[in-house]
Structure 1
Amino acid sequence: MNYFLTYTVYVLILSILMGISTWKLFKKMGYSPLFAFIPFYNYFIILKETKHPKWWAILSYLPIVGPIMMSVFHIYLMKKFGKSLFQHQLLTVILPFIYMATVNYSKDVELEDENANELFLTDEEKNAKKKDTFIGSITFAVVFATIIHVFVTQPFGIPTGSMERTLLVGDFLFVNKWSYGYRLPMRPVAIPFLQGTIYDSQKDGNPKNDPKSYVEGVKLPYTRILQFNKPQKNDVVVFNYPQDSVHTAIDRKDPYVKRCVAVAGDTFEMRGGKLFVNGKPETVLGDQEVQHAYTVNAGEQLDIPSLYNTYGFLPVREMQNDKGFEYIFQGLTDKTAAEIKALPNVISMEENIYPKDSATISYKLNADKTAYTKSIDTTQSIFPINKPWNQDWYGPVRIPKKGDVVAINKETLPMYQWIISEYEHNSLENKNGKIFINGKEASQYTIQQDYYMMVGDNRDASLDARFFGFVPEENIVGKPMFTWMSLQGAFSDASSSYQAPFKVRWERMFKATNTGEANKTSYWWIAAMILILFFGWEYFVKLFRKKKTEEDL
């Protein structure tokens, strides 16, 4: 309800600005000046008077699409009153209500003569008209793509190996935004197709200074509609990275893709690199392969390119020492590991498993028990910071569920502080050993939404919930539908000394991603049919128009 109330307020503000800046122009077109203040109907009139499809008016206040369409409609109105030069159009876009107001309140503004014969247009005017037609076509192509991107499905690339061998580095997916109910856009004024920032400026080395692709000041609260399903165990899910400190807008945080291994109310645990849910070993689906990291010592250098061609995904770091060569492999299946171990120049091979109770980073309470200090300085941090866990020995931990009442104290606060302050938007303070939520001392807290444990299939090469914690429901984007393109070598791998050769993986294209089957069905024929219908329809439309023009002559 808050979402639609806030949305209505924005619409009313824009409508008032529209009315104040154009009411005289509406009067000159023969309408009541009050019509300039009525949402949607004011743009309906502009489209009617400028001879454009009137149903376009429904696009005028849609999130992200709306600002584009409103600019187009404003340009149509200005052209109606003779303001058709480039500088007029530029001012209409960047200063819409200010420039339209100057036209509205000027004394000499008049409607253009609609009966002017096109035969008497100059070459310059004809070229300008063709240019406008071309720009209009491009604009509406962008608008159509934006509508699909914002309201239906979003493309997503796989740049890292955390989901190998289910999703490969270089896979490009389409994500269904309606899988778990549609999350309404929270930043309605934004540049289409961009996620968080326009570009990486590297200004001061601080990504917070990079130019944003959205207007932070215009915001709407989290709301999800038509939610008939929630993420289930074993679903591959796309979500916004919870602890992205650069972007405060939830739907503008970096997108991640992992497997949902535990849902709200489940208990998650890692034992010696093996995953357990509710005390039982994980269910491994047909499209998954259990993988581990290994250290290999070899007397002579291994032929890594040949191994990559044989086994596919094979990120590895190579180091030379006095005894020969040391290789750290990520993501080896049991079968691949056994075959590499059998190579004649391999001296030893050992699976990399952290010792139990050795945190990748360890934090301890100060003597006065008011804060935590870091005792081991490494590159990764396990969640929560006060547990002696690591990626191989983790938990057990219960995934928070909506309605859970949890105890809040010095021991539990690191587990729940992000939930309380960031995900559920409360003020949280720790004063002299006492915890205050929204200004009141608290010893317990009621969880307001469901949370999920998202972990990569390639467990030893995955930045996942073991490091950044629980994923809130409000961060869920949707479920990958199918791979539309797969390019080996499309992304460089920072975890590997070897860059995979570039090639197109034709066998992966247009295959569904979330079936769990080892041999997925390819739907390339559907894509081919859509392309044939699209270009065939365009051909017959042009043919029909040409024939009609010849008949009219």
Structure 2
Amino acid sequence: MNYIITYTVYVLIISVLMGLTTWKLFKKMGYNPLLSFVPFYNYLIILKETKHPKWWAILSYLPIVGPIMMSVFHLFLMKKFGKRGALNGVLTVVLPFIFMATVNYGKEPEIETEEEEEESKKKETFLGSVTFAVVFATIIHAFITQPFGIPTGSMERTLLVGDFLFVNKWAYGYRMPMRPVALPFLQGTIFDTGQKGNPKDDPKSYVDAVKLPYLRLPGYDEIKRYDIVVFNYPQDSVHTAIDRKDPYVKRCVGIPGDVIEFRAGRLFVNNAPEKILGDEYQQHGYLVTTSSQLNIPQLYKAFGFLPVQENQTNTGFLYTFQGLTDQIAKEIKALPEVVEMKEMIEEKGEGAIRYKANADKTAYTKNIDTTQSIYPINKPWNQDWYGPLRIPKKGDVVKLDKETLPTYQWIISEYEHNKLENKNGKIYVNGQETNQYTIKQNYYMMIGDNRDASLDARFFGVVPEENIVGRPMFTWMSVEGLFADASSTYQAPGKKIRWDRMFKATNTGEANKTSYWWVAVIILVLFFGWDYFAKLFGKKKEEE
């Protein structure tokens, strides 16, 4: 309801501005000037008078697409009154209501003759085609499916670095855009200012001042345990808009009400070992001691995997591997150079402790890792010995005290938007002292398949339902070596397309995934076929 009210207010504001700055132009075109204030109908009149499809008016107030279409309609109106050219176009787009007001209240506006209009339209055919293509792609991107790339190895073996996916936004319920004025195709920022700059200073791809509340439409499915899910990173401090936070992809290992636990790096859900799907592999990190240097290119060719680090010791070499399956670990252990191979499992009871190397990497000391603190911060847990943790469920009444507050404080204050205070050991929610809280939405535990190389819910905490984007449908492109891994000493040799992964379903849990190449063929045939027949029909009509 709040979404609809806020949306209506924005529509009324824009309609009033439209009427105040164009009423005289509407009168000149032969219409009652009051019609310039009527939402949708005012744009329908513009489309009718400029001889464009009138159904385009439906797009005028859609989030993200609407601002683009409004700019197009404003351009149509200004051109109707002879305001053509690059400068006039820029002013219409950048300062629409100011520029239209100067035309509206300036000297008596004159409508272009039909000859002038037809001559100008011929010159702008290409620009119109490009604009329509951008609008069409924006509608697909914003309202149906969104492309998503895999830049890191947290889901290795299942989703590879360099995979590009299409994400279904409707399966779990479509989340309405919360920042309706935004540049198409961009997530949060226009560009990155670099490592030395503050990410909060990066130019945003959206207008943060124009905001709508959270609203999710009903979906036709629900998140199931072990689904692969795309969501917005909950603790992204750069972007306040939920739908503009960085997108992540992980496996949902815990749904609301589940109890999850890691024991020596193995996951247990509701006190039972996790279910391993057909397209998933248990993976672990290993320290490998060798008597001589490993042949890295040969290793990559054989296993498709590289060590993340190599250190020379007094007796040989020490390699760090992440994401090895049991079978690959067995084969590497059998190499003649390997002296010892040990799985990396952190000691039980050590929370958020990592090892820091000295300058020449000959010794390592323990240090507290503040960048990857385990959730919640008051537990002596780590990524291998974690939990048990119960995933909050909508309607749960949880106890609030000194011990439980770190588990729920981010949920109460950030995800459910309450004022949370801790004064002298007493807890206040929205100014009221309390020792309990009722959870308002569902939460999920999102973990990467490559457990030892995944920044996931063990670190940033449970993921709220409002952050869910959707589920991957299929891989439409896969390029090996496209993204560099900053954590690894070695990189994949060159770039190449993985043709065997193209147009295959990503979320089936099956070892042999279905290929949807035929869908791609149909789309291409329809797109180019429609374009061909539209041009052919238009040509015949002109000849008649």
Give the Cα–Cα distance (whole angstroms) in 2 for the partners of residues 378 and 545 of structure 1.
65
Give the Cα–Cα distance (whole angstroms) in 2 for the partners of residues 431 and 540 of structure 1.
72
Aligned match of 2:103? 103
Give the Cα–Cα distance (whole angstroms) in 2 for the partners of residues 508 and 450 of structure 1.
33
Aligned match of 1:355? 347
Aligned-residue CA RMSD in angstroms? 1.6
TM-score (norm 1): 0.94
Q: Deviation string for 1:481-511 (max 9, x for gaps)? A: 0000011101001221111122111000000
Q: How does 1:274-285 map to 2 (within 5 A)?
A: 274-285=266-277
Give the Cα–Cα distance (whole angstroms) in 1 for the partners of residues 133 and 443 of structure 2.
38
Aligned match of 1:182? 174
Q: How does 1:144-543 map to 2 (within 5 A)?
A: 144-202=136-194, 205-361=197-353, 376-377=368-369, 379-501=371-493, 502-543=495-536
Once the 2 structures are TM-superposed, how far is the Cα of residue 203 of structure 1 from its aligned partner? 8.1
Give the Cα–Cα distance (whole angstroms) in 2 for the partners of residues 115 and 299 of structure 1.
85
Aligned match of 1:36? 36
Once the 2 structures are TM-superposed, how far is the Cα of residue 526 of structure 1 from its aligned partner? 2.1
Q: What residue identity is the alignment partner of 2:431? A: G
Q: Check conservation: 1:164, 1:313, Cα contact below 8 A.
A: no
Q: Deviation string for 1:297-318 (max 9, x for gaps)? A: 0010111221111112334211
Once the 2 structures are TM-superposed, how far is the Cα of residue 343 of structure 1 from its aligned partner? 0.4
Once the 2 structures are TM-superposed, how far is the Cα of residue 201 of structure 1 from its aligned partner? 1.1
Aligned match of 1:369? none
Measured at CA, do residues 283 and 130 of structure 1 come closer, stay the same or move farther in structure 2, by a change above 3 Å? same
Once the 2 structures are TM-superposed, how far is the Cα of residue 536 of structure 1 from its aligned partner? 2.5
Give the Cα–Cα distance (whole angstroms) in 1 for the partners of residues 20 and 59 of structure 2.
21
Once the 2 structures are TM-superposed, how far is the Cα of residue 230 of structure 1 from its aligned partner? 2.2
Q: Deviation string for 1:244-273 (max 9, x for gaps)? A: 011000000000000000100000100010
Q: Deviation string for 1:388-420 (max 9, x for gaps)? A: 000000000100000111111111111001100
Once the 2 structures are TM-superposed, how far is the Cα of residue 48 of structure 1 from its aligned partner? 0.3
Matched, 1:545 2:532: no
Q: What residue identity is the alignment partner of 1:53? A: P
Q: Check conservation: 1:382, 1:391, Cα contact below 8 A.
A: yes
Once the 2 structures are TM-superposed, how far is the Cα of residue 167 of structure 1 from its aligned partner? 0.4
Give the Cα–Cα distance (whole angstroms) in 2 for the partners of residues 311 and 150 of structure 1.
39
Q: Deviation string for 1:255-292 (max 9, x for gaps)? A: 00000001000001000101001000000000001110
Once the 2 structures are TM-superposed, how far is the Cα of residue 77 of structure 1 from its aligned partner? 0.6
Give the Cα–Cα distance (whole angstroms) in 1 for the partners of residues 417 and 307 of structure 2.
40
Once the 2 structures are TM-superposed, how far is the Cα of residue 215 of structure 1 from its aligned partner? 0.5
Give the Cα–Cα distance (whole angstroms) in 2 for the partners of residues 52 and 117 of structure 1.
13
Aligned match of 1:370? none
Aligned-partner SS, 1:224: coil
Aligned-partner SS, 1:4: helix
Aligned-partner SS, 2:294: coil
Q: Check conservation: 2:170, 2:220, Cα contact below 8 A.
A: no
Aligned-partner SS, 1:183: coil
Q: What residue identity is the alignment partner of 1:137? A: S
Give the Cα–Cα distance (whole angstroms) in 2 for the partners of residues 39 and 315 of structure 1.
60
Give the Cα–Cα distance (whole angstroms) in 2 for the partners of residues 251 and 437 of structure 1.
26
Aligned-partner SS, 1:205: coil
Give the Cα–Cα distance (whole angstroms) in 2 for the partners of residues 114 and 547 of structure 1.
23
Aligned-partner SS, 2:61: coil
Deviates more, 1:352-361 or 1:194-203: 194-203
Q: Check conservation: 1:247, 1:253, Cα contact below 8 A.
A: yes
Q: Check conservation: 2:80, 2:117, Cα contact below 8 A.
A: no
Give the Cα–Cα distance (whole angstroms) in 1 for the partners of residues 26 and 486 of structure 2.
60
Once the 2 structures are TM-superposed, how far is the Cα of residue 174 of structure 1 from its aligned partner? 0.2
Give the Cα–Cα distance (whole angstroms) in 1 for the partners of residues 346 and 194 of structure 2.
35
Q: What residue identity is the alignment partner of 2:526? A: L
Give the Cα–Cα distance (whole angstroms) in 2 for the partners of residues 379 and 462 of structure 1.
13
Once the 2 structures are TM-superposed, how far is the Cα of residue 337 of structure 1 from its aligned partner? 0.4
Residues matched between the structures, number: 532
Q: Check conservation: 2:231, 2:467, Cα contact below 8 A.
A: yes
Q: Deviation string for 1:115-134 (max 9, x for gaps)? A: 5596xxxxxxx5x5444221
Q: What residue identity is the alignment partner of 2:111? A: L
Give the Cα–Cα distance (whole angstroms) in 2 for the partners of residues 378 and 264 of structure 1.
28
Unpaired runs of 5+ residues, structure 2, are 355-365
Measured at CA, do residues 377 and 287 of structure 1 come closer, stay the same or move farther in structure 2, by a change above 3 Å? closer
Measured at CA, do residues 407 and 53 of structure 1 come closer, stay the same or move farther in structure 2, by a change above 3 Å? same
Give the Cα–Cα distance (whole angstroms) in 2 for the partners of residues 100 and 458 of structure 1.
56
Q: Deviation string for 1:295-343 (max 9, x for gaps)? A: 0000101112211111123342111111111000000001100100000
Q: Check conservation: 1:237, 1:259, Cα contact below 8 A.
A: yes
Aligned match of 2:5? 5
Give the Cα–Cα distance (whole angstroms) in 1 for the partners of residues 439 and 221 of structure 2.
20
TM-score (norm 2): 0.95
Q: Check conservation: 1:314, 1:332, Cα contact below 8 A.
A: no
Give the Cα–Cα distance (whole angstroms) in 2 for the partners of residues 117 and 41 of structure 1.
23
Aligned match of 1:112? 112
Give the Cα–Cα distance (whole angstroms) in 1 for the partners of residues 123 and 50 of structure 2.
17
Deviates more, 1:53-62 or 1:219-228: 219-228
Give the Cα–Cα distance (whole angstroms) in 1 for the partners of residues 63 and 353 of structure 2.
42
Give the Cα–Cα distance (whole angstroms) in 1 for the partners of residues 156 and 34 of structure 2.
60
Aligned-partner SS, 2:229: strand
Q: What residue identity is the alignment partner of 2:525? A: I
Give the Cα–Cα distance (whole angstroms) in 2 for the partners of residues 178 and 539 of structure 1.
31
Aligned-partner SS, 1:454: strand
Q: What residue identity is the alignment partner of 1:350? A: K
Unpaired runs of 5+ residues, structure 1, are 119-125, 363-373
Q: What residue identity is the alignment partner of 2:15? A: S
Q: What residue identity is the alignment partner of 1:268? A: I
Deviates more, 1:79-88 or 1:21-30: 79-88
Q: Check conservation: 1:361, 1:385, Cα contact below 8 A.
A: no
Give the Cα–Cα distance (whole angstroms) in 1 for the partners of residues 203 and 370 of structure 2.
31
Q: How does 1:55-134 map to 2 (within 5 A)?
A: 55-114=55-114, 126=119, 129-134=121-126
Q: Check conservation: 1:203, 1:210, Cα contact below 8 A.
A: no
